[in-house]
Chain A
Amino acid sequence: MAKRHFVPKADKEYTKADFTSDQMVKWCPGCGDHAILSSLLNTFPKTGHKKENICMVSGIGCSSRIPYYVDTYGFHSIHGRACAIATGVKLANPALSVWVSMGDGDSMAIGGNHLIHAVRRNQDFNITIFNNEIYGLTKGQYSPTTKFGQITKTSPFGTIDYPFNPGELVMGAQGTFFARSLDCVPPLTSQVMEAAAKHDGTSVVEVLQNCMIFNDKTHAAITDRAVRDDRTIVLENGKPMIFGKEKNKGIRFNGRCLEAVTIGENGITIDDILVHHEDTEDTGIHMMLARMSGDLPVALGVIRNINKPSYTELYEDQMDECMANSKYKCVDDLLNSGDTWEV
């Protein structure tokens, strides 16, 4: 059956300016959120969707202010519930292109349940997780992604919580799309957001974002220009997993786990390097890639992107079928169905 498209196309081309709102952006100067906003504004014109049919939904936190800064329909809701609200928006009107923004606490602590269930159902909306590994708007408490042992306002002696990895969570919930980017590389963020927009079903884009005030440089170990090329790898579908300043490092599967190797050393050739297939149904390698850290570069780009009917598709197909085959054409038919009698 041909793929169904629900969101109407625009009859004109938009630019970033068309989506920029007149509201004052109130994030701290230098916050990574500014760059993510800019990436998003760059992405919307590329989706080709009618402007009126784009709807932003957010929860609570710094990142969740984003609907005010985007000139679309928007819902700035309550803490953790963005996915649940987005679910209703999309079910009530599948012609809407729905974009959810959440922070790490919003999406994985108070809203963890809604996130995994939205992902499990393959709800047709695009989620951006702004991951700064801290509660910013409440001024610096540890979040579900804060590094183990980190000292924060509520962990003065260091956290003893093992952090979540959003990618693992998404794949554990049978997610169909997961990508990662850095706030300091807006072109990459736009690129993965564009891929997310094209994906039918739940897309989750994690952006590693810096909070200058309460968790400055939390991602510096991988984002600093001096180390970035060696500490990260940008995955490209169908291409070998090569990284490093000299483009001579790669990822290899050694039979037990992934390892970083140098091409030309110890007899390693390009043929030993894994080729990225974002559309592999099995989550095994994608999960390993999402988890890479420490000795392995942190994976960026689209890590997983598989085809699976979205909730919207399944829902609309079922509704169409039920309505076409319904015994009752109107509520009067229903009221008069079964045993009735005249007095």
Chain B
Amino acid sequence: MSTNQIVKKDDIVVRFAGDSGDGMQLSGTLFSDASALTGNDIATFPDYPAEIRAPHNTIAGVSGYQVHVGSHIYSSGDKCDILVAMNPASLKSNMKWAKKGATVIVDIDTFTDEALEKAGYKENPFTDEMERDYTIVKAPVTSFTSRIGQEQGADKKTADKCRNMFALGIIFYMTHKTLDQTFAYLERKFAKKPDVVKLNKAVLTEGYEFADKLEVVHGHIFEVAKATEMPKGRYRNITGNVATAWGLLAAAERSGRRLFLGSYPITPATDVMVELAKNKGLGARVFQAEDEIAGICSAIGASYAGALACTSTSGPGLSLKSEALGLAVMTELPLVIVDVQRGGPSTGLPTKTEQGDLNQALYGRNGEAPLIVVAASSSANCFYWAYTAAKLALEHMTPVILLTDGYLGNGSQLFRIPKVADLPSITPRLAKPNDPNYRPFRRDPETFAREWALPGMEGLRHRVGGLEKCPDGPLSTDPENHALMTYNRQEKVNRVANYIPDQEVTGNPDADLLVVGWGGTSGALTLAVEEMNNEGKKVAYTHFNYICPLPKNTGDILRKYKKIVVCELNNGQFLGYLRTKFPECPMHQYNKIMGLPFEVGELKECFTKILGE
């Protein structure tokens, strides 16, 4: 290609869509990995159905993967510049995500009458209007792939599995990238299957060359700017769930405690357990329990016995764990509960993202049962928030709920690799064997945390349990004692505020409007605020990771702004929480409950409207 055909862009969004099983998640991952390895900043967002293989060619079976690449990426992007649609159903359900003017690549071989009907098309989808507004590439993906398969003696099923490589080849051409990274991946992944490597490479190359011969894409080839502002260091691509698992491993190593995870499979949290199960070699003690309740109860037992104990789950699983959470509060044992939130209530939208579990995390227990709640705000920082959750649990002797969500957990991002030794130290509050003054509920005067005496330690035999105890350890139903112990448990959590940093404000601090967010929405919110300020509007932004307790300066920040809007992917749970704490601050709300992350466009529209009121 001649270089004058290439359009330079700060960022582009590519969306891969196909039938479940078409390999769209893999295509997306390979594209994002190759982009990251060649110097782009990236963020990805898998959008897949709950069914493993829904009926072929139906909307229900469409699986998508969006990749945002560029110089400085906050989120997986709103709408795409390039859409790959491997069948009519994917085109039908994904056209709404294509920008006007986008390039749309379809496998034209799949556009049979039958498939069109199954997708709900009554007529030819390629209307004049569509041909005018978009660049349509009708690629014979299936037939080309079959031909190569035949040439190499592969059966049809094996050849069909490579269709995604053809599409990926086109995308690499259109984003002005080489195939080297993916070749290396194939050689590594199928080291023992040279036939598979050969076939996939051939199909990938064929797709690339196919695009080279296409007149229609010329002028639509993008060279995306490399990341320039990234701090120096060693980088990798990481998903939120893997980052969470690694953060827990790092915390175990740094604190000198064994890592225990008791868990039960649940979408979209399962990958936390999967990742830790791979790492028994690093001492991760993983137990797949018979149910959610046994998951948390085994973790509570492990905590009593001295492990950095964790359990991972999603909304309905957290509901099942509620009673045991109360036990962890009552026994004042360190415990990390990871909730990778999904659409609720009940089974809800298992593969879609939402922030609907905040109230459950804050209040979902019987009695006065305070605990720490923190939330990660990017796929990569799941590592730090998992680490922080473990640190707080071990140092303050309390359960900590870490809220992430399906978007963060499954999405990926660049991660600047830290050295474990550079992470903040973790000092578990271990009791001293044979300490004659040991009492199960003797507290540190500053933190109010009790000491952790482990079975096996000499001279510290004691009993814990769900019944109310007095500070010395034995059971007590004394009214004054219950009031005291309730106060102590609350005060212990309140005092965590003394150990966390102040809340920060970004954007324009002298703005008229303060945007408030928490958890997994920071990508879209950051970009929306940045764009508004670039456009001359004055908008400030504060994003919460410490939810309970809140940073001590929260009220000071909120009281400074005339207008506040709290944005979250639920019906206003954080808003309600803030209103209870700061009733003097009037607050607007912006909510979305569609199982999808925020889009920058809708946020800016909302902020503009509030500014104009």
Contact = CB atoms under 8 A, between A and B. Distances in A.
Interface residues of B, number: 69
B302 A341 contact: no
Contacts, number: 206
A330 B285 contact: no
Interface string B11-48: 00000000000000000000001001101000000000
Nearest to A121: B290
Given A77-B466, A84-B301, A341-B234, A23 B474 contact: yes
B304 interface: yes
A60 B597 CA distance: 43
B298 interface: yes
Contacts of A29: none
Interface string A64-82: 0001100111111110010
Interface string A253-269: 00000000000000000
A71 B464 CA distance: 13
B373 to A, nearest CB: 22
B303 to A, nearest CB: 7
A271 interface: no
Contacts of B235: 340-343
A336 B418 CA distance: 9
B250 A331 contact: yes
B7 interface: no
A154 interface: no
A58 B116 CA distance: 61
A334 B282 contact: yes
B159 interface: no
A25 to B, nearest CB: 13
Interface stretch (A194-202, A207-215, A231-239, A318-326): A318-326
Contacts of B463: 67-68, 73-76
Contacts of A88: 260, 262, 287, 297-305, 307, 309
A221 B294 CA distance: 37
A333 to B, nearest CB: 8
Contacts of B462: 73-74
B417 A335 contact: yes
A85 interface: yes
Given A55-B305, A93-B456, A87 B464 contact: no
A331 B246 contact: yes
A84 B464 contact: no
B285 A319 contact: yes
Most B-side CB within 10 Å, residue of A71, A88, A93, A338: A88
Given A91-B260, A340-B235, A330 B455 contact: no
Contacts of A92: 258, 260, 285, 301-307, 309
B420 interface: yes
Interface centre among A87, A96, A327, A331 (most CB of B within 10 A): A331
B320 to A, nearest CB: 12
A169 interface: no
Interface stretch (B201-209, B225-233, B444-452): B225-233
A12 to B, nearest CB: 13
B249 interface: yes
Contacts of B475: 68
Contacts of B465: 67, 74-77
A328 interface: yes
A339 interface: yes
Given A75-B463, A84-B289, A328 B281 contact: yes
A83 B289 CA distance: 11
A83 B298 CA distance: 8
B455 A53 contact: yes
A292 interface: no
B253 A330 contact: yes
A299 B262 CA distance: 37
A335 B324 CA distance: 33
Q: For the complex of A and B, list the 3 residue pairs with the smallest distance between their C-beta atoms, beginning with the closest.
A: A326-B281, A88-B301, A76-B465
Interface of A: 23, 51-53, 55, 57, 60, 67-68, 71-78, 81, 83-93, 95-96, 113-114, 117, 315, 318-319, 322-323, 325-328, 330-332, 334-336, 338-343
Given A92-B304, A323-B281, A331-B246, 15 more contacts: A60-B466, A68-B463, A73-B455, A77-B465, A81-B297, A87-B297, A89-B302, A93-B307, A96-B455, A114-B294, A319-B280, A326-B282, A331-B253, A340-B417, A342-B234
